[in-house]
Amino acid sequence: MFTGHIHEVGTVVAEGPDFIMVRAPEAARSAACSICVNGVGLTVAPVAGQDGVLAAAVSADTRRRSTLGRIPPQTRVNVETPLRLGDPSGGHLVQGDVEAVGKVVRIDDDGPMRRMWIKPPERFHALVTAKVQVAVDGVSLTVAEVARDRFAVALVPLTLQATTLADLSVGDQVNLEPDLVTRLARRWPQDPHRAVSEVVAALPWAGRVAGARGVQQAVAQLAAGGGVVIWDPERECEGDVVFAGARLRPEAFTFLLTQVCGHSTVPCAPEVLERLELGPVPGPGDRHGTRPHVPVDLAAATGTGVSAAERAATVRRLADPDARPADFLRPGHVFPLAARPGGLAERAGHTEATVALCTAAGLPPVGVCCEVMNHDGTMAKAADLEIAALRWGLPLVDMADLARHL
């Protein structure tokens, strides 16, 4: 069993009709009897006289069902050792059993982030839906978007640095495996008229994550257009759901209004508000040091600006580097907040955490956050947030971890 979190990038030393040899010093030192190479689980043994080199037999079936028979020597490969009892999974589980081989059909660079479109076989496409996990060459990723015959994954800077996915070009083939939850969902007793994606969405694969790996999971979730729950036990003793402004969809704003139930605001880097000539609201501010600015509506909208679609469009325009002051009406129904120039190091609040997450995801420093409120009108605390995060399928990360690792 593997997690899809790559431990090291190895190098193919030799490859033949029925074997492969990989230099992976960390995996060799772990004395693991199996490793996952580009998403393919292999039984390995050390090669005598070659320090850090592992060899594995490769069957004809494995070569036919994966890219393993098409990897020449000196190629970099993703290597992961198997889970051991007590190891954290980070919410992802894969088996090293390649389900299909897909083709990279488009790569879009967006600052430090990269969006990669993959065209899988038709039988695999039925398993893919937005916001579920898929392993690409052994790297567990969140599906960002699904089109008619392809899907996109968002690659954050850490993933590009720590794996071989940055080496891929249009036309390259990649090994694909659905997350274990998706595999189980295919076998789950269910109404034949329900889609697999509906069952997956109902399973609690998410929840509390911790440490650097948990923060990167949160960053990847945000980069893919998903939401993240941030728990602040020190300053406000509240939790907020956060989305990236540049990726915000009307459905996400509807979710904030109907499920999260708090007051939605739009944290921005201070230079964004200066460029758009949006000044602060007069007054000393609240007791937590929040810095509200003049609320706005999108000038090009045709309604009152209150609908989820119009508010989402306003947020997306605030996040657009090409936006200008004339794009907005003042006052309006979208409430910008100014993050501190020093970010989380200056103030460890939800405003600064939202901007820091967007920046880490390679997106403009504009997001939307909303306090989680229970349906009885009380504010959600730690236990409430854990239940909500599992129910919503969102990662839950502590403010302290964000301040430490962003």
- Amino acid 182: pLDDT: 61
* Interval 349-381: pLDDT, tens: 999 999 999 999 999 999 999 999 998 899 999
Distances (CA, A) of 345 to 127, 232, 241, 314, 353: 42, 15, 21, 29, 10
CA-nearest of 378, 294, 376, 299 to 336 is 294
- Amino acid 393: pLDDT: 84
- Amino acid 193: pLDDT: 37
CA-nearest of 220, 182, 185 to 94 is 182
- Amino acid 113: pLDDT: 86
Higher pLDDT, 202 or 1: 1
Residue 247 has pLDDT above 60, yes or no: yes
- The one-letter code for the residue type at 365 is P
- Amino acid 188: pLDDT: 42
> Can you list the domains of the chain with their CATH numbers?
8-80 (2.40.30.20), 100-201 (2.40.30.20), 207-405 (3.90.870.10)
**Residues comprising the chain, all counted:** 406
Q: Is the dihedral of CA 246, 249, 250, 254 positive or negative?
A: negative
Burial 110-127 (b: 16+ CB within 10 A, else e): eebbbbbbbbbeeebbeb
Residue 184 has pLDDT above 60, yes or no: no
The whole-model pTM stands at: 0.61
- Amino acid 208: pLDDT: 84
- Among the ranges 77-91, 195-209, 364-378, which has the highest mean pLDDT value? 364-378
- Amino acid 391: pLDDT: 83
> What 3-state class would DSSP assign to 73?
coil
- Amino acid 249: pLDDT: 92
- Amino acid 186: pLDDT: 52
